[in-house]
Amino acid sequence: MFGVLLPLILVVAAVAALGATGRLEFAHVQVAGQPAAILGEVPGPDAGAACALDAWYVDEPPEGLRPDVLGAWQRLRAEAGEQGVRLCVQDGKRSTGQQQREFTEAVRLFGTPELAGIYVLPPEKSMHVKGIAVDVQPAASAAWVERNGHALGWCRSHQDEYRHFEYDPAYATSGCPAPLPVATGLSEVPGPETGPVCPLDKRYVDEEPQGPRPDVLDGWKRLRAKAEAQGVRLCVQDSKRSVAQQQREFTEAVRRFGTPELAARYVLPPEKSMHVKGIAVDIQPTASAAWVEGNGRAVGWCRRYENEYWHFEYDPAYETGGCPAMLPSATGS
């Protein structure tokens, strides 16, 4: 009976998948001794052991990847190991169901599918569901993959995701394609308008850091945990802003100072603000900001401007490469 039933199930499942995606772009995963499975339905691990390099991350077993991708992953990890580099798998395979749960949670957090789609892809678009993507942590290990992965078919595919790599055997011969730009629409994500009073100094507030890029939010949590471990409290005076929020501040500055040129000395227009891009946090009071200036680099946070002791920007490259030279001001004047 199963001789008839199994092919029938596969045909029904394939037609269902075709209806959802418009094309048959997956392979059935054939594992010896196990029934064939539709790749999109193959789950990955929900978690993993702590990453030996940095317990902030996990190191999942790379289960569920397409078999050729798994082989390529093992080659990459072996090559890294030979050079003394350990790679932790923060996330690898996800099933449609796993991705849908993450997407639904993001819609709940951000309000609409359009906003949620900036942070989490719906299942039909996720390369993790297709089983060809791996997120590598910590930052130094991801940087190693970016430099060395293409020879084995692994490339970074997005400018705003230093950790996310996709496999294609063609990359080994033709090199990596240009990374896609940052997710469009991030600049429309607002941050909080204000927050509760900073308990250290009532002139400031302590906003919830909502709306930054997920890796920046992750970096922020690490910074705050590091500060707390040393008995230092950080208040967030300002973090994410949308284009509209930044434009209101800029328009108000133009009204006060008379011209856009004069206003731009004090408030950046939206297209130039790192708060709109979601990579900046303003920290108060002065002593807390000074602590970040002394200790933030180790987790990717650097002060960037001589005239803004409170303004810090996140880039995982700072962890390994150190902070860039400070600029006189954000406005260049």
**What residues line the site for Zn ion (CB under 5 A)?**
280, 282, 311
Instruction: Determine the Cα–Cα distance for residues 309 and 283; give it in Å rounded to an integer.
Output: 9
Of 65 and 330, which CB lies nearer to Zn ion in the complex structure?
Answer: 330
The distance of closest approach from Cβ of residue 222 to Zn ion in the complex, given in angstroms and rounded to an integer, is 19
Residue 120's φ and ψ, nearest 5 degrees, are -130, 130
Query: What number of other Cβ atoms are within 10 A of residue 53's Cβ?
Result: 16
Instruction: Determine the Cα–Cα distance for residues 312 and 219; give it in Å rounded to an integer.
Output: 12
> Could you tell me the strand order of the sheet in which 280-284 lies?
235-238, 280-284, 311-314, 301-303
Of 56 and 305, which CB lies nearer to Zn ion in the complex structure?
Answer: 305
Candidates 87, 198, 60; CA nearest to 142 is: 87
The distance of closest approach from Cβ of residue 305 to Zn ion in the complex, given in angstroms and rounded to an integer, is 8
The distance of closest approach from Cβ of residue 326 to Zn ion in the complex, given in angstroms and rounded to an integer, is 14
The distance of closest approach from Cβ of residue 256 to Zn ion in the complex, given in angstroms and rounded to an integer, is 19
Of 145 and 330, which CB lies nearer to Zn ion in the complex structure?
Answer: 330
The distance of closest approach from Cβ of residue 282 to Zn ion in the complex, given in angstroms and rounded to an integer, is 4
Q: Which residues are CB-contacts of 299 (< 8 A; sequence separation ≥ 6)? A: 219, 222, 223, 226, 319
The distance of closest approach from Cβ of residue 245 to Zn ion in the complex, given in angstroms and rounded to an integer, is 13
The distance of closest approach from Cβ of residue 313 to Zn ion in the complex, given in angstroms and rounded to an integer, is 8
The distance of closest approach from Cβ of residue 238 to Zn ion in the complex, given in angstroms and rounded to an integer, is 6
Of 240 and 311, which CB lies nearer to Zn ion in the complex structure?
Answer: 311
Of 100 and 331, which CB lies nearer to Zn ion in the complex structure?
Answer: 331
Type of residue found at 40? G
Of 71 and 332, which CB lies nearer to Zn ion in the complex structure?
Answer: 332
Of 280 and 299, which CB lies nearer to Zn ion in the complex structure?
Answer: 280
Of 59 and 313, which CB lies nearer to Zn ion in the complex structure?
Answer: 313
> Could you tell me the strand order of the sheet in which 164-167 lies?
88-91, 133-137, 164-167, 154-156
**8 A C-beta contact, residue 302 and residue 318:** yes
Query: What number of other Cβ atoms are within 10 A of residue 92's Cβ?
Result: 24
Q: Which residue is nearest to Zn ion (CB)?
A: 311
